[in-house]
Amino acid sequence: MATLATAPAPATTSSPPQVTWGRVRQSRRLADRLLKVVSALFTAIGVFALGWILLMLLWQGFAALGPSVFLHTMPGPGSAGGGLLNAMAGSLIMTTIGIVVATPIGVLAGTYLAEYARTSKLASGIRFVNDILLSAPSILIGLFVYTLLVAPFGAYSGWAGGVALAIIAVPVIVRTTEDMLRLVPNGLREAAAALGAPPSRVITLVTWRAARAGIVTGILLATARIAGETAPLLFTALNNNFWFSPSLIGGVSNLPVTIYQFALSPYTNWQELAWAGALIITITILGLSVLARFVIKREVAR
Amino acid sequence: MSSVASNEHVVASPSSVGSGRISHSGFDRGFRAAAIGCAALVLLVLVGIIGSMIWGGLPAFREFGFFGFVGGSTWNVGADRYGAWPAIAGTLSSSLIALVIGVPLSLGIAIFLTQLSPAWLKGPISTAVELLAAVPSIIYGMWGLFVFAPLVANYVQIPLNALVEGVPIVGTVLYSRVPSGTGIFTAGIILALMIIPFIASVTRDMLDQIPPVLRESAYGIGCTTWEVVRHVLVPQAGISIIGAIMLGLGRALGETMAVTFVIGNANRLSSSIFDPGSTIASRIANEFNEAADLQLSALIALGCILFLVTFSVLVAARLLIARVQAR
């Protein structure tokens, strides 16, 4: 029925498609066309959404960005001007604490999984738990660190914020370290062991060196991941509109929570600062991700 | 550069062998212990999270009973009565909307990238999708609140209100009392955008792992692209695609900041998907810093429920993906 109804029309106007699809049923042809059009359309929607978000961010962010953002501390309610200097400093400090704590733990744990216990039951259990932690809700990590480090001491602190970020960074580093160490050919390990090197020397002098670029990539990706995290900082570092104390005890100002509070505030200059902060944080994170790709690509090319 | 360094070490080591032997094995043992310790720390963190949630939530569970707390539909700070159901319902319904919208989009993207895309387009689109994953959630929240919510209010809610007002059932589910643009529906769409990169990239990897011979032989006997996808790729990668979807679901259930921006943060249960609501994560983010005593405990108990739900979803996802990879 369908073939009878539609077949005459193309036959008169154009014959080549009729020939290529000669004995293909209309329904098969339709399903095929539909799949192609729909999946191309969906891809276009995805790319369009990303473009929309990024363009809006650039537009609003650059409109609000000026030297004062980097030179002044956060403005009080209702006062004009101001910047994000203390928020950026706090974020930088806490991200650094997070990465400094997470790097040795993550690299050593990844080394254990890849070098000491490739096939043991304990190792596969740890690998599984690590994968779960990789996508665990970050707000729960905030709650955990709150009960661990904030409630007992009775004060919010930058240290608690740093630890919360470290807990998020560790699984990323463990995963990439293990994957990268597994790519190191066994011949290298055997050669080093044949020279009489004990396992620790084999790992530190041979396999770590061979996988260096991959491990650095993991650390960069972990930094990118924690730099924009807001939820775990809400209950650990809180926020602070002024300069935080050098001991990092008490609320420590940070960029993500500041963006959250300023964006929802009724003051125009606060909202503009939120856009400027959002732009700074996104550029930092995308820059770190691109850098991570560059590091691993250069290593592959070598 | 690095070869020079290792040569120097080889030359230098014989002189230090005599004195270094004992500390050498000591270092070896210490290194091994440190590696095991750090790996155990990963386990310990998970145990710590579970423990702290149960410990902190215990007073609330005791006060209302586990099922009383989960099923309770009032969250009244003034009267000190807490029930989790509105937040649980908000979490589940926003995640469901996210899946309904996000899954077809991500599968479409994965199929486009692996089967249809011209080679020159593959790299840029993959990069764009991965960048979408790297954008921090707070940016999605701001975009949702300032750009997307007004559009929903003007072009979806107001016309829809005029259309469905007074209609039974449909009129309840789709009618928005205050067409402000914020609500469970908007949160679901933002969540859909956020889970697309995860589902799409895992699905793409799974489709790439299928041996090309299978695909080629199907094309060779005259299959169309649709038939190759339907009868070759989906049966081959089906279970792992479900795993990828559950991974995305795990993300959607626990997402905090983006949802807090756009969901409207209402404490009551609502029958319309356009009304403001709250999720477990947004409730915790909003109230935790001002909470004390029983409210604090109730919020941690909410966290405990969120943990149980996401944990089981993520475990199922990992098991499904691992089963396929082992094969």
Q: Give the type of residue at A20.
A: T
pLDDT tier at A278, thresholds 50, 70, 90: very high
pLDDT value, residue A20: 55
pLDDT value, residue B209: 87
The verdict on B21 and B89 lying in the same domain is: no
pLDDT value, residue B319: 87
pLDDT value, residue B33: 93
Helix (H, G, I), strand (E, B), or coil: what is residue B312?
helix
Asked whether the beta carbons of A50 and B128 are under 8 A apart, the reply is yes
pLDDT tier at A21, thresholds 50, 70, 90: low
Per-residue pLDDT tens over the stretch B109-128: 999 999 888 889 988 888 88
Mean pLDDT computed over A79-108: 93
- Give, in degrees to the nearest 5, the angle at Cα B319 between B317 and B323: 120
Q: Across the interface, do A128 and B318 touch by the CB < 8 Å criterion?
A: yes
The verdict on B16 and B150 lying in the same domain is: no
pLDDT value, residue B1: 38
pLDDT value, residue A301: 61
Closest CA to A137 of A65, A220, A229: A229
Residue B182 lies in a domain: yes
Asked whether the beta carbons of A141 and A169 are under 8 A apart, the reply is no
Mean pLDDT computed over B189-213: 91
Query: Can you give chain A as a three-state secondary structure string?
Result: CHHHHHCHHHHHHCCHHHHHCCCCCHHHHHHHHHHHHHHHHHHHHHHHHHHHHHHHHHHHHHHHCCHHHHHCCCCCCCCCCCCCHHHHHHHHHHHHHHHHHHHHHHHHHHHHHHHHCCCCHHHHHHHHHHHHHHCCCHHHHHHHHHHHHHCCCCCCEHHHHHHHHHHHHHHHHHHHHHHHHHCCCHHHHHHHHHCCCCHHHHHHHHHHHHCHHHHHHHHHHHHHHHHCCCHHHHCCCCCCCCCCCCCCECCCCCHHHHHHHHHCCCCHHHHHHHHHHHHHHHHHHHHHHHHHHHHHHHHHHC
Chain A residue numbers touching B224 (CB-CB < 8 A): 24, 28-29, 31-32
Q: Across the interface, do B42 and A133 touch by the CB < 8 Å criterion?
A: yes
Per-residue pLDDT tens over the stretch B242-269: 989 999 999 999 999 999 999 988 888 8
Judge whether residue A7 has pLDDT over 80.
no
| Cα distance between residue A248 and residue A97, in whole Å | 11
Chain A residue numbers touching B245 (CB-CB < 8 A): none
**For residue B150, how many other CB atoms are within 10 A of its CB?**
13
The verdict on B23 and B117 lying in the same domain is: no
B231: which 2 tokens? 């009868």
What mean pLDDT, rounded, does chain B reach? Answer: 86
Judge whether residue A253 has pLDDT over 50.
yes
Q: Give the type of residue at B208.
A: D
Residue B1 lies in a domain: yes
Sign of CA dihedral B309, B310, B311, B312: positive
Q: What is the CATH number of the domain that holds B271?
A: 1.10.3720.10
Among A26, A42, A271, pick the best mutation site for testing chain B contact (most B Cβ within 10 A): A42
Judge whether residue A58 has pLDDT over 50.
yes
Question: Which residues, in sequence order, are CB contacts of A107 under 8 Å at separation 6+?
Answer: A173, A177, A215
What mean pLDDT, rounded, does chain A reach? Answer: 87
| Cα distance between residue A69 and residue A85, in whole Å | 7
Residue B60 lies in a domain: no
Mean pLDDT computed over A128-155: 92
Per-residue pLDDT tens over the stretch A212-221: 999 999 999 9
| Cα distance between residue A84 and residue A87, in whole Å | 5
pLDDT value, residue B19: 46
Per-residue pLDDT tens over the stretch B31-74: 999 999 999 999 999 999 999 999 999 999 999 999 999 988 88
**Across the interface, which of A135, A147, A230 has its CB nearest the CB of B251?**
A135
Residue of chain A whose Cα is closest to the Cα of B24? A198
Q: Across the interface, do A129 and B41 touch by the CB < 8 Å criterion?
A: no
Q: Across the interface, do A46 and B310 touch by the CB < 8 Å criterion?
A: no
Judge whether residue B238 has pLDDT over 60.
yes
The verdict on B38 and B76 lying in the same domain is: no
pLDDT value, residue B23: 64
User: For residues B282 and B293, which has the higher predicted lDDT (pLDDT)?
Assistant: B282
A292 touches chain B (CB under 8 A): no
Residue B52 lies in a domain: no
A25 touches chain B (CB under 8 A): no
Judge whether residue A15 has pLDDT over 50.
no
**Across the interface, which of B128, B200, B257 has its CB nearest the CB of A230?**
B257
Judge whether residue B13 has pLDDT over 60.
no
Chain A residue numbers touching B143 (CB-CB < 8 A): 52-53, 56-57
Helix (H, G, I), strand (E, B), or coil: what is residue B4?
helix
Closest CA to B254 of B184, B189, B313: B313
Question: Which residues, in sequence order, are CB contacts of A243 under 8 Å at separation 6+?
Answer: A73, A86, A253
A126 touches chain B (CB under 8 A): yes
Judge whether residue B239 has pLDDT over 90.
no
**Across the interface, which of A125, A209, A228 has its CB nearest the CB of B2?**
A209
pLDDT value, residue B22: 52
State phi, psi for B45 to the nearest 5 degrees. Answer: -60, -45
| Cα distance between residue B267 and residue B326, in whole Å | 45
Q: How far is CA B224 from CA A23, A38, B8, B232, in A?
A: 13, 15, 62, 11
B274: which 2 tokens? 């356009």
Across-strand partners of B76? Answer: B81
pLDDT tier at B16, thresholds 50, 70, 90: very low
> What part of A 192-231 touches B (C-beta under 8 Å)?
198-201, 203-205, 209, 224, 227-231
Residue B219 lies in a domain: yes
- Measured in angstroms, the CA of B171 and the nearest CA of chain A are apart by 29
A199: which 2 tokens? 């396992």
| Cα distance between residue B102 and residue B245, in whole Å | 9
Q: Which of A43-57, A139-153, B170-184 has the lowest mean pLDDT?
A: B170-184
- Give, in degrees to the nearest 5, the angle at Cα B6 between B5 and B8: 65
Mean pLDDT computed over A101-105: 96
Asked whether the beta carbons of B32 and A200 are under 8 A apart, the reply is yes
Helix (H, G, I), strand (E, B), or coil: what is residue B308?
helix
The verdict on B164 and B230 lying in the same domain is: yes
Query: Which alpha helices (DSSP H) does chain B contain, by range?
Result: 2-64, 66-71, 85-111, 119-134, 137-143, 149-152, 158-164, 170-174, 184-209, 212-220, 225-228, 234-254, 257-262, 280-287, 293-326
Please state the domain count of chain B: 2
Q: Give the type of residue at B206.
A: M
pLDDT value, residue B78: 84
pLDDT tier at A6, thresholds 50, 70, 90: very low
Judge whether residue B201 has pLDDT over 60.
yes
User: For residues B265 and B327, which has the higher predicted lDDT (pLDDT)?
Assistant: B265
Supply the pTM of this predicted model.
0.87
Judge whether residue B102 has pLDDT over 90.
yes
The verdict on B43 and B187 lying in the same domain is: no
Chain A residue numbers touching B285 (CB-CB < 8 A): 139, 231, 234
Chain B residue numbers touching A144 (CB-CB < 8 A): 45, 48-49, 52-53
Closest CA to B268 of B278, B259, B254, B280: B278
The verdict on B23 and B150 lying in the same domain is: no
Chain A residue numbers touching B104 (CB-CB < 8 A): 42
| Cα distance between residue B299 and residue B149, in whole Å | 28
| Cα distance between residue B137 and residue A263, in whole Å | 14
ipTM of the complex: 0.86
The verdict on B109 and B166 lying in the same domain is: yes
| Cα distance between residue A107 and residue A207, in whole Å | 12
The verdict on B101 and B1 lying in the same domain is: no
Question: Which residues, in sequence order, are CB contacts of B120 under 8 Å at separation 6+?
Answer: none
A70 touches chain B (CB under 8 A): no
Structural domains of chain A sorted by starting position, each given as residue range(s) with its CATH number in brackets: 84-301 (1.10.3720.10)
Per-residue pLDDT tens over the stretch B297-307: 999 999 999 99
Question: Which residues, in sequence order, are CB contacts of A184 under 8 Å at separation 6+?
Answer: A206, A207, A210, A211
Asked whether the beta carbons of A201 and A208 are under 8 A apart, the reply is no
A93: which 2 tokens? 């400090």
Mean pLDDT computed over A19-46: 83
Q: Across the interface, do A140 and B225 touch by the CB < 8 Å criterion?
A: no
Judge whether residue B11 has pLDDT over 50.
no
pLDDT value, residue B61: 92
The verdict on B6 and B98 lying in the same domain is: no
- Measured in angstroms, the CA of A63 and the nearest CA of chain B are apart by 16
Mean pLDDT computed over B191-199: 93
- Measured in angstroms, the CA of A5 and the nearest CA of chain B are apart by 23
The verdict on B143 and B263 lying in the same domain is: yes
Asked whether the beta carbons of B197 and B130 are under 8 A apart, the reply is yes
First to last CA, chain B: 42
Judge whether residue B222 has pLDDT over 90.
no
Residue B140 lies in a domain: yes
Residue B57 lies in a domain: no
Judge whether residue A238 has pLDDT over 90.
no
Residue B58 lies in a domain: no
pLDDT value, residue A23: 63
Q: Which structural domain, as residue segments, surrounds residue B15?
A: 1-47
Mean pLDDT computed over A269-273: 91
pLDDT value, residue A29: 86
User: For residues B227 and B5, which has the higher predicted lDDT (pLDDT)?
Assistant: B227
pLDDT tier at A252, thresholds 50, 70, 90: very high
pLDDT value, residue A258: 93
Judge whether residue B104 has pLDDT over 70.
yes
The verdict on B298 and B196 lying in the same domain is: yes
